[in-house]
Amino acid sequence: MADFTHLDEQGKPKMVDVGEKEITQRIAIAQSTVQLPDEVVALFNNNDITTKKGPVFQTAVLAGIMAAKKTSELIPLCHPLALNKCDVNIELKDGLVYIQCEVRCSGKTGVEMEALTGATVAALTIYDMCKAFSHNITINETRLVKKTGGKSDFEHK
């Protein structure tokens, strides 16, 4: 059984000490999916959905980037990281919105949580901006697609 890195010997929460770790190029890609009902999909035009609040996908991209940058303020034991890159891409296919968030940094700890947070907040933003048209919107899943640069690499098969 693996030890929980965020618990001390007494079982109390702790922030992992990364002081002795090597600085490496860290990359993580996460994906969220959002199922939109037909009445919302019908509003899709010129690669976005425009509402009174503004362009949905463009706003979700900005929200995802902002969220990735603030992950350590949201997840209690995450280290604050200086991100080198954060890209959020959104695509609609057959009523399903695919949100992919890629985050990169040169650091001592990974950026999985930043990528997952960025993808999740982008999905929540789409829900928020489209709920006036329908509450029948489902955020299906958020998952890590790939990570490299740490102790072990990962790719979702």
- Give the model confidence (pLDDT) of 64-83 as tens digits: 999 999 999 999 889 999 99
Task: Write down all domains in the chain, each with its CATH number in brackets.
Answer: 24-149 (3.30.70.640)
Q: What is the pTM of this model?
A: 0.91
Per the prediction, the chain carries an average pLDDT of: 93
Q: Which pLDDT belongs to residue 1?
A: 41
**Whether residue 128 lies in the annotated active site:** yes
**Is residue 59 a contact partner of residue 50, using CB atoms and an 8 Å limit?**
no
Give the pLDDT mean for 98-115. 96
Q: Which pLDDT belongs to residue 2?
A: 55
**137 vs 53, more confident:** 137
Catalytic residue of the set 3, 38, 128, 153: 128
Least confident stretch, 3-7, 12-16, 97-101, 110-114: 3-7
Q: Which pLDDT belongs to residue 8?
A: 74
Give the pLDDT mean for 122-133. 97
